[in-house]
Each structure stands twice: as structure tokens, then as C-alpha cells.
Chain A
Amino acid sequence: MSTQVAPDVRSRVLSAPQRVGVKLFVEDQEAFDRARMIEVFHRWIQEDRLPGTLVDVHDYTHVQEGPGVLLIAHEWHLRTDEAGGRIGLEYEMKREASGTLSERLGEAVASLLEAAAALEQDTAGDNPVRFVTREMVFRFTDRLAVPATDAAFEEVTPELEKVLAGLYGDAPVEFERVGHARGPLTLHMRVVGEGEWTLEELVSGARSAAG
């Protein structure tokens, strides 16, 4: 596998990234039980709960505003991310990605939503974890493919809108560039239109859109 990515000929600035992160926020921040995630992720490895080569669980809960608890797979990392002081679940595609930029974005979104749905399902009893469904954060850590520039922001947002239309239909979304100026291109997405969506609906939409 090469870290050099194939150029996306439709794009002026961007190419299809190998690495992209998507995050959903947890609804009840105070009630979130970090230690429980260690058990859940270990169990997911035992049960092959998610697709991919699941390698290990790593505990970074001692780091303030850190990656929390990580589930490491060969192809992706899943973390109970605490960046910015707001806990969420971030799926980061790491390698073995294929397809165009929008196909990869669609795959990352669908994978995150499926992981989030699994977490909601597995914690459904006591102190259930629930996710905010009207916000997401996209983080492009593959700087070669998606540089942290205004031009890249302008180019990536239509691609994201296409992907998100599969989830939210016609409801408009807005993007805000967030994070450190020298950090990876990071976009905070909010649905600004009317409507409520369950996680299951989003999963279904994402999978349909991803084909």
C-alpha cells in the first residue's frame, strides 16, 4: 500500500484522502462513562462487531481533551474523542480506502453511524449512550490530499453536502471551519433546517447513499 493517493481528476485542490475523521457528539456529556467503553470495545473485538481487522483497545482517558478510549483496527481508529472538551465518537479512516473523494466521505460517515448505532444498542439498558444527530465534525488529517486551506474548504463542502443529502434530504446544512489554524482542515457541520432524525434513519440513509 502506498501513502500516495490517486489524483481525483475532478478536483482542482483535493484528491481522495486516505485519512478522514468524522465525529458525532454524545448527548449527555456528564453521564458518559469512559471506563465502560473499555469493556464495550474489548467485547466488540471478541464479537467482531464491526468490519475490519480489529487489533486492540487503548486507554487514553488520563489525557484531558484527548482521544479517550480507542478501538484500533488496521483500517480505521474509533475513539471516544474528547477534543475541545466535548465528548463524542470519532471514526477515522486510516488506510485501505478506495473510490472517489465523495465515496470515501460517504463510507466514513456510514461507518461512524454504524459504530454509533452499535454503541447505542449495546448500552441501551443502564445509562444509555445517545448521540446528537444534527451535528458532525469532519477532520481531514491527510494533508496531502486535503490541505488545510480556504480553497480546500470551498471544494470539500459541496462534496460533503452531496453525502449529507443522503442523510438529511433537503434540509440545509452549514459548515464552519474550526480548530487551530495549523491543524488539519476541520469542519463543524450543523443541520439548520427543520426536522428530526434518529440514528437508525441516518444509518439507513448513509448506507443507501454509499450503495
Chain B
Amino acid sequence: MTTNGSGQAPEPRAWKARLGSRLGEKLSREIDSFEGQIEQKRAGKLTDEVFAEMRLRRGVYGQRYDNGQRHDGVSSRELVFPNAELTKGPGTLWDAPGMVRIKNPFGALTADQMDVLAEVSEEYADGILHVTTRQDIQLHFVHLEETPDLMRRLGVVGITTHEACGNAVRNVTACHLSGVCTTQTFDVTPYAAAVSDFLLGHPDAQEFGRKFKPAFSGCADRPCGLVKMHDIGGIARVREVDGVERRGFEFYVGGGLGAVPHQAELFDEFLPEEELLPICQSISRVFARLGEKDVRSRARLKFLVAKLGIEEFRRLVLEDRAGLTEDSRWTAFLDDVHKGHDGPLWQIEKKRDKLTPSPQLEAWLGTNVTQQRQPGYKVVMIYLPLGDITADQMRGLADVARRFTGDAVRMTVEQNLAFRWVRESDLSALHEALEELALADPRAETLTDITACPGTDTCKLGISSSRGLARTLMDHLETRGEELDEVVRGLRIKISGCFNSCGQHHMADIGFWGVSRKRNGYNVPHFQVVLGGQWAENAGSYGLAIVAVPGRNIPAATDRIIQYYVDEREGDEGFKAFVTRVGKASLRTLLQDLTEVPAYEQDRSFYSNWGDPREFTLGDMGVGECAGQIVSPVEFGLQASEREIFSAQDRLDQGDFNGAADIAYGAMLIAARTLAREKEIGLGEDPEAVVAAFKTHLFDPGLFHDPFAGGKFGNYLFRVHRERKNGFEATPSRARQRIEEAQLFIEAAHSYHVRTAETVSV
């Protein structure tokens, strides 16, 4: 510490000292403890596994290339960091830049928080704040040793990263319109806050095998809450009991996206508000006690609910609930809830500004401004391209928030910001202020407001570049602008870089998820096209995969899909209904020629991701000047298995659930046999022999294992094979699940082929 000339003590040179008591004692202790763990790890006193879970629970995540290897388009190179021998997790280098996830319950932000978020993003990250599809904020390219100070500075304005990652209760999300929504039953905000506070660090929520995501919605119809894709979720309900109106929730459990999406099951038609926290506690206890711990891929709550059945799961939870010791926190928050007021935060000014008409303002009013339940006020959406906003913009937006909305800002699951309680009289001035920040783009919640996960930009699991594709599609559709038919402007496009669904592609009208295919002897980035998901009704249903299209052809595929809808829709037919009516076979035919990949020498762009000039190949693959390529038997076999999957989907659409499940099983067998025959020439078609050969030659030696998911996909085959032998009665959801699993097994077969195949040239 230095002193200045006047003898007055200057500001301390460390954030911990400078912030002093402004940081709460409990949080301060927790961050000190984490800092101590970092030092312990540095000193070799903690194992990689233990420390990795510790930092994950503090929101400190890994990032692509953190194993110190990166393919630069020519060869795989080692990233040489100063602390080359030090690791912060299994295979994760100490100095490799990482991601920090910041948890904001129900996406709420105050202006003061926005200021500090801007500061930490430019100091510790790359100057960008990324809003996620779960109302979190992510910072990228952060160094581990800078995270304690980052946490301290956030803590001063009431933000925590605690349990933002890891096997813990993740951010509690809720509709961004809660409290101001025209269709809400009641404001779910205080309930989401109560669940978030109650479960954060709760002893009964510390022993999960996987993450646990809650969500709340104020109504059943609108999409904002997405309750049915969450581990637990409540939709606001009121019921008259003994002449008194009571609040409660239509309560769901066991939903989730991921590789195999599950629709949540109804746990209780009406869970009274006073039972919300104890039931959440008991669900946590049952999940911690009975949930899978060893096999990560089966460890989400959805698998436990599916395994036990909703009736047995409910019985176990209620049995646990009956034995819980009373906790005053269960109902303490309700006093405040019922004392709560329904606004307004601002007084309406008598004199209203006359809107100065301009095409920009008109367009913005049409797309980014919606009615609020309270007369005289509006909700204004701030469109953030791919969820990104700069530190400068965030700081400027904090000023705008102070001027126009108080602290009523929410992040949305579509990666935008919502300003609530904006006076109608302020709309013109607000638009002008947003224009100055380059944040007045009129495309919120439209076709070109595309959602994408980080994908290959920063995620370790990304296969294809979801953000690269999103950028391309946004530009492509934007240039078409006026020529796009009105009926397609409200459609949603969502993109994931892999099967894990962080981009929520299952619920989009038009969804894409990244896969790779071996074509002409090279790896070619592709996207599976998923059509007809339902964003409304809290993610009411999921779309199904149509066909994998090379990434380079996705803009053309999108054009065709939307044009087909414009040309062939009947009356006011919605997109999901249209997809159901025309059927997947016709959609596949529509896109079939776009699945072709030109020869490498003819068009090299097909062999790279959008926005990334590096060749999408393994570095050691041959790039010979051969005259042509022959398609290997493996490629034929895997394509045959994909065709079977398509047939299975058709059967499912026709209501033949057992037939669909059987064909999906057959598709898995074709893929397994195709690969196993490379090791055991002469292998026949007997399912028992195929499964045994697959196990012996591919699964047991670990060859088929996914680099990240391990044996997950191979196990799908074994389980389905067992079920088949033991007798399998397909329900709609089970048949659907089997198709999804078969699809993933075939994707894994493609991945295996990509990892191992050699170019066969002639």
C-alpha cells in the first residue's frame, strides 16, 4: 500500500481490502475459502477431480482447448502456458482460459449490477457479457486466479456464481414478464426467488449425481417459462378452497432436453404455495438418495422419474415430505408475497410525448414493444445478437435503465433483455437512447432473432459451429428482409453445436444441431434439421430430426423450408401443424439434394465451419490429389441405418408405437453390425451375435466410447436389446425416446467412423 503526499491513506491495492465490509460476511468467507482451495490445488494438496467439482460449484467452468491442444487447420498444436505442469481439473490446464457463469435468479438485473457486470467483463474477460438460454450471464476467457476478485466485486451488488455449474441446483428461471404479463395467473417472481434462496447451498441439495434445473411460469400457454423442459417446474394456478382463493402450482418433474429430451411429468395438479418449498426439498432428497451417481449420462432427474414411474416417484416424495422437520423458511416468504403490490413503479405523466414517426421507430414498436398488464406501461425488449452485449453497452444500458425502468430489467430465455414498466410516454426517448447504444435493432423474438449455444466457439463439447451458422443465417435472412412472408416472421430458429441441446433446438420451429459426417474421405460439418418443435405451452412438444444437411447448405435448406410453409400452408395453419400434416417424408424429400457434398477439390468451403476457415478434418487425414473416392461399406451401412430411423419416425407419426420402436431397434442393429463387420468379417444378422460382436470388438475396448459421454451411446444398444428380449410395450413417449436414442447411437457410430476411418482412394 502506498501513501499520498498529504499523508491520507490511499485506496488499498487489493479488491478484498478495498471492498471490505461491503461484501457480506458469509459470501466473503465462501470466496476466501475458494481462494484457499485454489492455493491448495496449486500446492498439490487437492486432486484434480475434487478441485474441478469445487470450482464448478463456484461457477468456474472449462472452455474449449483447455487441455492444451488445438488444431490450427494444419496440425494439432500444443498451447504452451507458463504453468505448463499445473492443472485445475482432469486434463485441464491451469492457465487455459475458462468460462465463469453468473447466476441471476429469474434473470433479474439492477442497474448497479449491470455496472459491475460491465466492469468485470472488460477486466477479467473479453469485454463481452453473454446472456444464456437460462437467464445466466457467461464470461469467457477468464483466468482461474482472477475469479475470487471477480466474485467479490459481483458479491457487493448481490450477485453470486455459487452453484451456477456442477451437480447442483442451477439458476431458477422464470418468465421475464412475471408481474407485468397480460396472461399471467399471478406473479411467480417471489416464488422463484424463494426456491432459489432456499435451495442455494441447502444440505439436502448437495449430493446430486447431476445438475438440477427449476423453472416457473405465470401461465400455461405462453412460452416464456419453458416449465416442461425442466427438472422441476411450476405453472401458476389459483383454486377456490372453502370460498377462499388459494394460490398454488401445476407442478411438473422430470423434464429435460439434453441428448434424449423428456417432457416433464405432472406431479401435482395443484401444489399449494405453502407446500412449494418442502416439496422441492423432498424432491431434492429423493433425487440425492436414489438418483444415478455412477453413470453420468443417466443421472438427471428425468431418468429417475422415468425409471420409477411418476406414481412411485410421487409416493416416495410425499413419504419423505411427511417425515421432514418443520422449517420456518417454508412459509416465511409468503407474508411478503401477499403484501406485494402490483406496481406501478412510476407515475404516469399527464402529458404524453408525441411519438416522432420514423421507419426505424415504427419497426421497433412493432417487434420490440409489448403490452403490459398495467395500463400506460409497456415492456420493451432489447435485442442482443446471439445474447452478446459489450461492457460499454451494458454500462450505457444501466443509465437507460435508471432513467426509464428503475431496476425492472430481466434477461430472457431467448437471450435478450426486457425493460419492464416503461411508460408509453417514454417510448420515443427510450428508442433514441437505445439507438445511441446501437441496441435498437427491431428484431426481438422474430425469425432473425436466432438462439445459439456457444458451440465450437468456446464449448468443449461443440461439434459444429452453432454461432457461426447463426451469424450466417441472421445475415442471410436479414438480406431477404422485406421479401420474407409475414407468416414466417414469428418463427423461431434455434441452434445447438451438439446433441446436448443448450441451444434448445428441440423446441424451435426450425432447429439445428451439430453433427459430423464422413464424406469423400473427409469430415464434413453437418447439422441435423429438427422441425416442428413447440415453443409455446411451456415447451409443449419437441420436434423430430428430419435429415442431416452439410452446414454450408443450411441457409438454402432454411429458405426451402420457409418457402414450402408459405406456399403450402392451409388457412391459418401454424408451423407445427403444417409439419405434422405434410409429414417428415415430404420434408426429407424437399431437402434431399442438399445433403450432397461436392468433392473437396470442387468446393472446399463445405469442409469448414461457418466463420472458421480451418479445415474441419483430423490433422493426419490424407488430402491426396486422387481422381475420386469410393464410398466405404461403413458409410453405406450407416446411411441405411439412418433411413430406418426415418421409417421409425413415420411409424410413430402414424400411431404405430410398437412398430416405431422395433424399427428404431433395427436401425441400431444395422449400425452396430456395420461397424462390427469391420472387425469380424462374416458377421451375420442374428441380433444376439451382432450385439455380442459389437460389445467384444468396439465397446469393451472403449473404441466406441464418446470422448466426453463415454459409453453412454453404446449402452443404449445393450438396454434396448435387453428390453426387446424381455418384452417391450411401447407407449408414445417410450417409442419416441427409443427413436431419439437410436438416433444418438447412429450419431455415435458416425463419430466412431470419423475418428477411425481412412481415406480410400482410387
CA distance A14 to B140 in the complex (A): 28
Binds A, one of B53-61, B313-321, B391-399, B501-509: B391-399
**Docked complex Cα distance between A53 and B82 (Å):** 9
- Check if B141 sits within 8 Å of A60, measured CB to CB: no
Chain A positions 51 through 67: 1 when the CB is less than 8 Å from some CB of chain B, otherwise 0? 00101111111111111
The answer to whether A63 touches B390, judged by C-beta atoms less than 8 angstroms apart, is yes
Contact indicator A66/B128 (Cβ below 8 Å): yes
Interface centre among B1, B457, B613 (most CB of A within 10 A): B613
For residue A15, which residue of chain B has the nearest CB? Answer: B13
A85-B122 Cα distance, complex, nearest whole Å: 18
The answer to whether B395 touches A39, judged by C-beta atoms less than 8 angstroms apart, is: no
By a CB distance below 8 angstroms, the chain B residues around A65 are 390, 392-393, 438
Are the C-beta atoms of A141 and B141 separated by less than 8 Å? no
CB neighbors of A among B30-71 (8 A): 64-65, 70
- Beyond A4-B14, A42-B614, is A19–B392 a contact (Cβ under 8 Å)? no
- Whether the pair A13, B10 counts as a contact (CB closer than 8 A) is yes
**Complex Cα gap A9–B10 (Å):** 13
Complexed CA–CA distance, A7 and B79 (Å): 31
Chain A residues, CB < 8 A from B613? 38-39, 42
| Cβ < 8 Å to B, chain A residues 179-211 | 179-180, 182-184
Which stretch of B143-151, B181-189, B228-236, B676-684 is in the interface? B143-151
A residues 103-144 near B (Cβ < 8 Å) are 141-144
Residues on A with C-beta less than 8 A from B74 are: 46
Q: Which single residue of chain A is at the shortest CB-CB distance from B386?
A: A62
Chain A residue with the shortest CB-CB distance to B150: A3
Q: Please give, as numbers and ranges, the residues of chain B lying within 8 Å of A38 by CB-CB distance.
A: 611-613
Task: Give A11's nearest chain B residue, CB to CB.
Answer: B2
The answer to the question of A31 belonging to the interface, with a C-beta cut-off of 8 Å to chain B, is: no
- Checking B10, B123, B385 against A142 with a beta-carbon cut-off of 8 angstroms, the contacting residue is B123
A83 to chain B, nearest CB (A): 6
Kindly name the residue among A38, A55, A83 whose own CB sees the greatest number of chain B CB atoms within 10 A: A55
By a CB distance below 8 angstroms, the chain A residues around B65 are 55-56
Task: For A62, list chain B residues within 8 Å (CB).
Answer: 385-386, 388, 471, 474
CB atoms of A67 and B127 under 8 A apart: yes
Chain A interface helix/strand/loop/mixed = loop
For the complex, give the distance between the alpha carbons of A1 and B81 in Å. Answer: 12
B747 interface residue (CB < 8 Å to A): no
Q: Which residues of A contact B468 (CB under 8 A)?
A: 59
> In the bound complex, what is the Cα–Cα distance between A55 and B14 (angstroms)?
28
The digit string for A72-101, where 1 denotes a CB below 8 A from any CB of B, is: 101001010001010000000001100000
The complex places the Cα of A183 from the Cα of B398 at a distance, in Å, of 12
- Report Cα–Cα, A196/B113, bound state, in Å: 45
User: Are A58 and B392 neighbours in the complex by a CB distance under 8 Å?
Assistant: no
Q: Is A160 an interface residue (CB 8 A)?
A: no
Asked if B390 contacts A66 (CB within 8 A), the reply is yes
- Shortest B6–chain A CB gap in Å is 9
Query: Is B82 a contact of A74 with CB atoms below 8 Å?
Result: yes
Which residues of B have CB within 8 Å of A63?
128, 385, 388-390
Given that A2-B145, A12-B5, A144-B14 are known contacts, is A184 also in contact with B388, CB under 8 Å in the complex?
A: no
- Contact string against A for B residues 473-516, beta-carbon threshold 8 Å, 1 for contact and 0 otherwise: 01000000000000000000000000000000000000000000
CA distance A45 to B76 in the complex (A): 12
Contact (Cβ within 8 A) B123 A141? yes
The answer, yes or no, to whether B95 is at the interface (CB within 8 Å) is yes
Chain B neighbourhood of A13, CB < 8 A: 4, 10
What 1/0 flags go to B1-39 for Cβ under 8 Å of A?
A: 110110000110111001000000000000000000000
Chain B interface residues toward A at CB < 8 A: 1-2, 4-5, 10-11, 13-15, 18, 64-65, 70, 72-74, 77, 79-82, 95-97, 115, 118-119, 122-123, 126-128, 140-141, 143, 145-146, 149, 385-386, 388-393, 395-396, 438-439, 441, 457-458, 467-468, 471, 474, 611-614
Residues of A within 8 A of B (CB): 1-5, 7-9, 11-13, 15, 19, 38-39, 42, 45-46, 53, 55-67, 70, 72, 74, 77, 79, 83, 85, 95-96, 141-145, 147, 179-180, 182-184
20 contacts between A and B (CB under 8 A): A1-B82, A45-B70, A46-B72, A46-B74, A53-B80, A53-B81, A53-B95, A58-B140, A67-B126, A74-B82, A74-B97, A77-B126, A77-B141, A79-B126, A96-B82, A144-B14, A147-B11, A179-B392, A180-B395, A183-B118
Known contacts A56-B64, A77-B141, then 20 further A-B pairs from the complex at CB < 8 Å, ordered by chain A residue: A1-B82, A8-B2, A12-B10, A42-B72, A53-B95, A56-B70, A59-B457, A60-B128, A63-B389, A64-B385, A64-B439, A65-B393, A65-B438, A67-B128, A70-B126, A72-B126, A79-B126, A147-B11, A180-B395, A182-B115
